[in-house]
Amino acid sequence: MLKIGRRNFELGKKTIIMGVLNVTPDSFSDGGSYFSVDEAVKHALLMEKDGADIIDIGGESTRPGAISVSLEAEIDRVIPVIEQLIEKLHIPISIDTYKSEVARRALDLGVSMVNDISALKGDKHLASVVAEYDIPVCLMHMKGNPRNMQEKPAYDDILKEIIDFFKERTEYALFNDIKKENIIIDPGLGFGKRTGRGIEDNCEILRRLPELKKLGYPIMIGASRKTFIGNICGKDESLPVSERLEGSLAAACLAVINGAAIIRVHDVKETRRCLDLIDFIVRMKIIKSSEI
């Protein structure tokens, strides 16, 4: 069971869909589309209608090469949106941040989860905030930071490195009084992972996801519209972001079959329809992951 706000999600019964709401001018997929409060609120309500279980609000782009924004700028972007949505949404809100003060401001308004790309490394105070509010936190694996993460990342055994990373970060979280049932892990597709030229770390992660599941924590996967999908599905050149839907759906389906509990996506309606079928098949045990 995973408790997020007032919702109790029974893991393994139905995939949890997290809808992405980037309140930024420069995110890789939809930067600028929902930068105004009115557009952000409208889009969040549409994602809820389309089947999202959680809305993840972020005020700082984490695309490759992105430069960090100030605390004040991030607060100015996300807090007005949260203030509007907290009374309108019937589903939980997650704050996508590594800054403890942004998280605290959001949690004080009623946000129910923290999604931290730094796995509690970016701000030494965030772990205590998560523990204090007794809410779920997603810890993500990343090489370096968004500005430099795609500058020649290298691995001997990528799953071993990710698993070792999460053993250390979950121990850190537990040591800082974060409850085990509040920890979610995300292998960080696209964050310091190799793609192109015959090396596809993201695909290897998806294929070997059962190894990560053995750690005993719910897994979140964010493959939606990522570069590796464009590279693989394009013929002569990488597909643009706007043409990566089919590949994103394929990645989401495989992730669920291999054990993911939460799928973080931009295209909620299409993903919900795909995963409703996959959930039915997996629950009915028509297909077992070991047979794929």
264 in active site: yes
Question: By the 8 A CB rule, do 276 and 30 touch?
Answer: no
226 in active site: yes
Among residues 264, 269, 273, 285, the one annotated as catalytic is 264
Q: Rounded CA gap, 51 and 252, in Å?
A: 15
User: Token digits for 281?
Assistant: 């098949």
Among residues 208, 226, 244, 272, the one annotated as catalytic is 226
Q: Rounded CA gap, 48 and 137, in Å?
A: 21
Q: What 3-state class would DSSP assign to 271?
A: helix
Q: Is 80 exposed, middle or buried (0-12, 13-18, 19+ CB in 10 A)?
A: middle
Question: Given strand 113-116, what is the order of strands in its sheet?
Answer: 183-186, 137-140, 113-116, 93-96, 54-58, 16-22, 262-265, 220-221
The residue type found at 274 is C
User: Token digits for 222?
Assistant: 């964010």
The residues assigned a catalytic role are 226, 264
